[in-house]
Chain A
């Protein structure tokens, strides 16, 4: 039996809702700002959609609008990830160095 396409989409949507809630359910309030900023960057993936619609149009106005959408989406995605990293960098640097070698200790 093959599921109807609409049902497949609905299934993905519903499962994603639960995953989205589940993965962040234990976040400490310390990390609210970076988490919000990181999640913000993830929805910058609309850049992919913007590239797809812009690259398949042959109307000049649509092309112009699409390019604007690409610029905006790129600001969202790239800026979001860079600014989140900048915040988190400060957190990890100050952490009392555990034995893991992943942080840079007090070098910076």
Chain B
């Protein structure tokens, strides 16, 4: 490889570090992302200027890049903000799949040329194939769960606790086999086994924990790309993949910590049984239902209101009406804040993105640790399209899928108004005792529709 290209790759690696650094601060995030994008484009153009390589099939390669680019841009521009988690999962999955295919091709090359690759290279190749496949299949299942193409509840079948370790063990054996004596058919079998392991890994994970899994699979793909870099002797791939693998792992642990869960518990909790409390059924216990006018009076005569927005708000596209309501209440001299749970929405930080889209001023968004002490003084808590993040079962019911997750202390407020479509439980599939509390009032209906009525009623006060 010419020295100047190696230096360009080094510069691109530095840009990726700067990109991640930038992405972790609100002020620098956008520039960080653009630096990363620029570096990635520069790096991918390099093979075309690398004359000794005698790159072949150039028109086909450019056509393939064009197809992928059009697909990626189309998906990225048309996806709704509510569907962001499944989009990220999908992009991550195809990356993992690409890495696995690249490793297969490299192995094919090694076998064809009768090359005598050291065992460690072959082991890295096997790693790339199997983990890339795991990431691909896992992401596809994650996508299906979030897109509600399949149930979001944990899928467990008898024998899963045996099938999974057997599949992992078999993958290990085949991986070792590839490292010692590489054959194409074994490598392909290894890839297929990786697909099975990936699917089995994600199937038993409950809907509420899926965000953690996305982050984990993201880290997996990073490590896959790093191993691929070693296999192809490409430093840039090694650096970029390792950066993503390390930061992704760290981020996963951070998020799991925010939910009060261990990663192992999230992945394998359902296998041990126990987290099957969720029924997904609507309850028929009595609740106190109110009209928009009643709710408007509760809000209009409060001094302090805290809004707890959830994914349901964004699905109903009611966030603009909510912002208007908060503005009207603010004009009446009522102090209103939004309490944002770290995993509100379907991905950590997702709710911030959704409210930013509705032009909610950034300073009204308060993080959980910051606002949890204020609930005691709140006259009314308005819960819109959220459920699990205010479910006291997280504190009181060991064995509930969300047990141990820090929640917003909505139950400490003087009154709670729940805006709900139906009595169906939240994403975690468990009942919320707060709904049956005597201080709780329920305002049934589509969030956008009831929010509009509530807004008009508050205006009419």
Contacts and interface: CB of A to CB of B under 8 A. Distances in A.
Contacts of A41: 33, 36-37, 40, 91
B77 A30 contact: no
Nearest to B106: A53
B282 to A, nearest CB: 30
Main secondary structure of the interface of B (DSSP, over half): helix
Main secondary structure of the interface of A (DSSP, over half): helix
A13 B226 contact: yes
Contact of A73 (B53, B95, B105, B109): B95
Given A9-B238, A67-B64, A24 B251 contact: yes
A72 B76 contact: no
Interface residues of A, number: 81
Nearest to B118: A6
Contacts of B130: none
A42 B36 contact: yes
Interface string A1-30: 000001001001100111111011111111
B251 A32 contact: yes
Contacts of A34: 23, 29, 33, 349, 353
A53 B102 contact: yes
Nearest to B60: A67
A84 B23 CA distance: 10
Top 9 closest pairs, chain A to chain B, by CB = A74-B68, A79-B72, A20-B246, A76-B95, A32-B349, A16-B242, A27-B24, A83-B76, A82-B76
Interface of B: 16-17, 19-21, 23-27, 29-34, 36-37, 40, 43-44, 46-47, 53-58, 60-61, 64-65, 67-69, 71-73, 75-77, 79, 81, 84-85, 87-88, 91-92, 94-95, 97-99, 101-102, 104-106, 108-109, 112, 120, 214-215, 218, 221-222, 224-226, 228-230, 232, 234-248, 250-251, 254-255, 258, 340, 342, 347-350, 352-353, 356-357, 359-363, 365, 367
Given A13-B242, A27-B25, A46-B98, 10 more contacts: A16-B239, A31-B24, A35-B20, A42-B240, A46-B102, A51-B47, A62-B105, A68-B101, A94-B359, A95-B362
